[in-house]
Amino acid sequence: MQKTRSTTPCLGICSTTYGDDVCKGCKRFVHEIISWPKYSQDERAFVNDRLEKFKVLILQDRFKVHDSDLFEIKLKEKAINYNNSMNPLTWIFDLLRAAGSQDLDLEQFGITSLKNYDPMKIRDEINKEFLDLSEAHHQRYFKKA
C-alpha cells in the first residue's frame, strides 16, 4: 500500500483508551485520534509532519541511512509497515518495532549506527524520548496552568 503524508500513523496499540493524553503507540494527541476521520488531508499531513520532525530529531545523531533504496527494498521484503512519503530515517522506528527481540544487522538495511548503538538496547530509549517530546509538546500547547 502506498502511503501519503495524510496516512494514519496508528499502530493499533492506542493507549488513549486508558486515559493517556498522548498515545504511547503513535504519539498523537487524544484529540487528534478522536478527530482523525474528520481531519482534512492538510490537517492529517500537519500531524504527520510534527511526528516526522520529532523522529528525525531523535534519530539523526544516532543513525545514518546511507542507502534508502536498499532500506526500502528490505522493508518490503520483510513486509514491515512504513510510510514511504516520510524521511527514510523515520523508517528506523518501524524497523525496530517490527524486529521485536530479533538481532538486527543494520548494514543489511543500508543503515549505519553512528555511535555503535545496539539497536535492540536503544529501541526503548528512542521510543521513550519520542513519547517525552510528544508529551512535552502536548503540555505546552494544550494543558492549562
What confidence category does residue 3 fall into, taking pLDDT thresholds of 50, 70 and 90?
A: confident
1 in a domain, yes or no? no
Angle at which helix 119-142 crosses helix 91-99, to 10 degrees, equals: 120
- Which is nearest to 24 in space by CA: 35, 32, 15? 15
7 in a domain, yes or no? no
- pLDDT score of 93: 93
Residue 129, domain extent:
16-142
Q: How confident is the model over 87-135, as pLDDT tens digits? A: 999 999 999 999 988 888 999 999 999 988 887 788 999 999 999 999 9
Are 78 and 104 in contact by the 8 Å Cβ rule? The answer is no
Q: How confident is the model over 17-62, as pLDDT tens digits? A: 888 999 999 999 999 999 999 999 999 999 999 999 999 999 999 9
Alpha helices in the chain (DSSP H): 30-35, 41-59, 68-77, 91-99, 119-142
User: Distance between CA atoms of 79 and 38, rounded to whole angstroms?
Assistant: 29
102 in a domain, yes or no? yes
- Average pLDDT on 73-87 reads 95
9 in a domain, yes or no? no
- pLDDT score of 29: 95
Q: How many domains does the chain have?
A: 1
4 in a domain, yes or no? no
- pLDDT score of 144: 58
Q: Whole-model pTM? A: 0.89
